[in-house]
Amino acid sequence: MKTVIQEFAVGTWYILQMAHLSSGQLVKYKKLCICSGGTPKLIAENHPHVLGIRDTESVQLFQNRLKDASRIILVGNGGIATELVYELEGIQVIWVLKDKSMTATFVDPGAGQFFLHQVNAPKKKETISKRQQFNLSGFQTLTPLSALLSPRKESKETWPLYVELTNGKIYGCDFLVSATGVIPSFPKVLSKVTELKVSPEDVGIMVDKEMRTSVADVFAAGDVCTPAWQRSPLWFQMRLWTQARQMGHHAANCMVASFKNEQGHTWSDFAFEVFAHMTQFFGFKVVLLGLFNGQGLGTDYEVLLRVTKGEEYVKAILKDGKLKGAILIGDTNLEETFENLLLNQMDLSPFKDDLLNPNIDIEDFFD
Ligand SMILES: Cc1cc2nc3c(=O)[nH]c(=O)nc-3n(C[C@H](O)[C@H](O)[C@H](O)COP(=O)(O)OP(=O)(O)OC[C@H]3O[C@@H](n4cnc5c(N)ncnc54)[C@H](O)[C@@H]3O)c2cc1C
């Protein structure tokens, strides 16, 4: 039987196998799976003019604040910032990036350049827009926080918030949106005797291949966890819905297996073999596969590129003749074939000149 308790888990007594809820109630468990996600890394905590976006509540707050705003500053270079830049209309947006190219969390500078042309281009779809004013403020880096939030006057107007960049420029705005990622967040450990090991790099709860944490009968999945297993060379964690869902599914299977005392739950899930993510940026379908930015390959790899401005951007990464990753932007129809080539690691040396040839149907070719 399944029971739902709508409460906040404030802490866990792992020795007693009990979760402590905000109402004061203690809930006994046999197995526990922590799926408490992450909290946004805000550029300034509890500041009235700095918003983080992480859930429907914060999106609503953002929409309310937007009604009376004429200029916002957007900080971050990942999916959320990119989506906001595309969707926001009728307001001046100053996008502050610390990287040398846009959307750098996801794509390489070439693809960033491909999207740059779309920033002020007419939308590919209907929106509730009135007009758009967009200002990509060079590629700037924010100063440390101390210098950031001082109220100052600009020549013409007074703004509720002023932001200073490392290039010395100061911009006024109605509010700042901090879209700079999340950090794993989980209920407090209520007994120091039991250790829940967390990753020194990103403070996620470390889990093994069966989603078990360092504490007996405690599992974790999704954004809150960090895989500490021997990973497939073409997969890595990137706190995304797809990965959270796959981890949740896998954790559930492993918990059931653990109840049944099944040793060494079968690792048959392909989900963690090859990184795969599909999204939309600037109205374009974006498919990211494997080591799509050459992650971890150093400089010793080959890049095949096919670009049609405003239409598609296809990048294939090969090492020793084998496909290691790909970025597919637009309606390329290559995703299935490329995913198979990543999984089977076929030697493509004899075909690589034709791999991105638009006149060759590679789906048929490799069938
Ligand atoms: C604005 C935004 C846009 C995104 N867009 C995309 C996208 O387009 N594609 C994509 O793949 N990914 C996207 N992501 C990332 C994606 O949302 C996360 O990777 C995914 O939601 C993680 O799932 P999760 O279940 O691990 O955590 P969450 O979805 O964060 O869920 C955690 C839940 O646990 C609850 N919780 C936390 N602590 C406690 C507690 N102590 N007691 C009880 N409940 C608790 C939280 O309230 C929340 O409901 C986006 C993220 C954000 C913030």
Q: Quick one: which atom of ligand 1 is closest to the CA of 53?
A: 1
- The DSSP code sequence of 147-175 is GTS-----SS---SEEEEBTTS-EEEESE
- In ligand 1, which atom is closest to the CA atom of 187? 41
Q: What is the CATH number of the domain that holds 170?
A: 3.50.50.60
- Which DSSP state fits 282? T
- Alpha-carbon span 239 to 335, nearest angstrom: 21
Residue 27 CA, ligand 1 centroid: distance in Å: 23
**Ligand 1 binding pocket includes 279 (Cβ within 6 Å):** yes
Quote the ligand 1 centre to 114 CA distance (angstroms).
29
Residues in the chain, how many? 367
Q: How many CB atoms lie within 10 A of CB 167?
A: 11
Residue 273 structure tokens? 């073999």
Contacts of 349 (CB under 8 A, 6+ apart): 321
Which residue lies with its CA nearest to atom 34 of ligand 1?
36
pLDDT for residue 276: 95
pLDDT tier at 85 (50, 70, 90 boundaries)?
A: confident
Is 250's C-beta closer than 6 angstroms to any atom of ligand 1? Answer: no
Question: Where among 148, 182, 216 does a domain terminate?
Answer: 182
Of 159, 182, 205, which marks where a domain is finished? 182
* Pocket lining: 215 vs ligand 1, CB cutoff 6 Å: no
26 and 45, same domain (yes or no): no
Q: What is the best residue among 240, 245, 247 to mutate for testing ligand 1's pocket, by most ligand atoms within 8 Å of CB?
A: 240
The DSSP letter of residue 281 is E
197 band by pLDDT with thresholds 50, 70 and 90 = very high
Structural domain for 296, as ranges = 283-365
Residue 263 predicted with pLDDT over 50: yes
Containing H/E element for 220? strand 218-220
Beta strands 276-281 and 225-227 are unpaired
Cβ-contact 308, 332 below 8 angstroms: no
Please tell me whether residues 161 and 291 are part of one structural domain. Answer: no
Which residue lies with its CA nearest to atom 4 of ligand 1?
A: 80
Place of tokens 């944490």: 213
| Ligand 1, atom 38: closest residue by C-alpha | 36
In a domain, 343, yes or no: yes
Handedness of CA 141, 144, 145, 149 (dihedral sign): negative
Grade residue 154 by pLDDT with cuts at 50, 70 and 90. low
pLDDT > 50? residue 292: yes
**Token representation of residue 154:** 């600009």
User: Which of 123, 152, 182 corresponds to the end of one domain?
Assistant: 182
Nearest CA among 266, 235, 239 for reference residue 339: 235
CA distance 258 to 262: 6
Asked whether residue 26 falls in the same domain as residue 118, the answer is no
Structure confidence at residue 332 as a pLDDT band (50, 70, 90): very high
Ligand 1 centroid to Cα of residue 234, in Å, is 24
* Domain co-membership, 100 together with 134: yes
pLDDT band at 172 (very low <50, low <70, confident <90, very high): very high
211 in any annotated domain: no
Q: Which of 98-107, 152-161, 187-196, 316-325 has the lowest mean pLDDT?
A: 152-161
pTM as predicted: 0.85
- Domain assignment present for residue 187? The answer is no
Pocket test for ligand 1, best of 41, 223, 287 (most atoms within 8 A of CB): 223
Number of structural domains in the chain: 3
The residue that leads in pLDDT, 232 or 134, is: 232
In angstroms, the CA 151 to CA 160 distance is 7
